[in-house]
Structure 1
């Protein structure tokens, strides 16, 4: 048995896309890790699986697996690629599409230039939404936002944002010199975050323009993180640093994000890189390094 796959990316955030509608796909943590491994497999930040919807108000179910094998709630760049993939594979011609994710329904529309706009769903800021344990910490109010100080080196003052998945966003002077490789994993694995967290680093250029880097749960730093970019914009607007819409420059490309305090929309590019076939039995046999 072989599975057909499509390799895609959205602003450099890359994915192995699997059609679980016309194929029988059974993913295990080993198979996800093997698919995502850049030396032993195809290579990707995440593996994305499209399945038949379980809800009557959705067109498809869309599932996201990080490179470490764990399933997560949401991926904004992946959501854009999901729409392009569904149309490319002829699974549906509907536009917009309604996708069932772990935390609800998101609405997505593909444009003629293959950019995609995603209605990102609900955005929450209270610690319990991530969840995050605030015991012993003193909150700091900035504008409409609340900042929490984490004991990293140097200390990190972060905004908490839940966009289906959890984010901790801090403002830095320059993302090029920000300690993403050291502070990122320290924040990601901080035990106060019950399900780990995506660590975002935001540089404000002006009120409508930021640069962002994100250290993602289970994937490390990626060239772009859609929900991370959205979290940065929401946090920046709440702090009084930004105004909608906002151009977000990531290391892999540019996103446009608009937020009115309720509805959060992201528009960005998609790209098909190549297609191929892979054997699940071969994935099972790969001896991955620890």
Structure 2
């Protein structure tokens, strides 16, 4: 892709009102793809809902599953904000966090980082070239996930007997006999906007394929079907262990690759592949 994008029509987007070129990185973790914008040198972040939508348009912009914006932080090595392709914000994104951690560690030759997100302060570690991120403790109470009313989060009162887990964002995990045959495209959006989830939810369909190995397909809130979901993998591993299907160390095969989850006493750790695709600059005035 060229390091300059065709400027979209002014009447379609009203997102960016200056002519400052905006550099970004395109990255992915197991096919879960991201635009990464580094705003640590700026006084504040540049992202808005409209600009996120403009960049997220796969036909007129760049396209992404989520966008991650880096900001400076007084108490951490960096802070991260996450945006969905529909312009809504996300509280957590495990694969994007891993991608950013890999990029920043390479820049500063570090082997660990502290990262501030809406989820809280997360720790990332380079273990022999493998990037691991502690996504924090899972949220299992109905108010914290959140749900609209008090109910058994391990067995939700929905068809299919799913489990609800919070990982800084809500997840609804269905255990199915065959993940390949799961109705992701049809059932995903219905569950995403079910009244039980006041902030909508990510939806996972998982099948046990071997001991401590799950096959996972995902419908992400605000985005749709994605090739992988880091926080979704964490939520699925937690739900699988709580339902007695796996141990606390789980290998998860998503559509785009394999992720590893390790639920420890200090939180749910996530690892998997990371790739930097290209660095480019949006055309001056993009989104204006």
TM-score, normalised relative to structure 2: 0.88
Deviations 1:120-155 (A, max 9, x none): 1121111111111236x6x4xxxxx720132xxxx2
Question: What 5-or-longer segments of structure 1 have no aligned partner?
Answer: 140-144, 285-290
Partner of 2:30: 11
Q: Is the 8 A contact 1:17 1:85 kept in 2?
A: no
Partner of 2:15: none
Moved more, 258-267 or 75-84: 258-267
Deviations 1:1-56 (A, max 9, x none): 10111100000000011010135651111110111111111111111100001x42
Mapped to 2, the partners of 1:280 and 1:243 lie a distance apart of 51
Runs of 4 or more off by more than 4 Å in structure 1?
Answer: none
2:74 counterpart of 1:70: no
Mapped to 1, the partners of 2:22 and 2:193 lie a distance apart of 34
Mapped to 2, the partners of 1:221 and 1:165 lie a distance apart of 17
2:148 counterpart of 1:133: yes
The Cα of 1:85 is off from its aligned counterpart by 2.3
Mapped to 2, the partners of 1:79 and 1:226 lie a distance apart of 9
2:121 counterpart of 1:102: no
Question: What 5-or-longer segments of structure 2 have no aligned partner?
Answer: 1-19
Note the 1:141-160 alignment, pairs <5 A: 146-150=154-158, 155-160=159-164
Note the 1:259-270 alignment, pairs <5 A: 259-260=263-264, 263-270=267-274
Mapped to 2, the partners of 1:216 and 1:280 lie a distance apart of 31
Moved more, 121-130 or 11-20: 121-130
Residues matched between the structures, number: 268
Partner of 2:4: none
Residue number among 163, 173, 184 corresponding to 2:188 in the alignment? 184
Note the 1:56-95 alignment, pairs <5 A: 56=75, 58-88=76-106, 90=107, 92-95=108-111
Mapped to 1, the partners of 2:232 and 2:274 lie a distance apart of 17
How much is the aligned-residue C-alpha RMSD, in angstroms? 1.7
- Distance of aligned partners of 1:8 and 1:173 in 2 relative to their CA distance in 1, 3 Å threshold: same
Deviations 1:146-180 (A, max 9, x none): 20132xxxx23111101111101010111111000
Moved more, 17-26 or 35-44: 17-26
2:44 counterpart of 1:29: no
The Cα of 1:86 is off from its aligned counterpart by 1.7
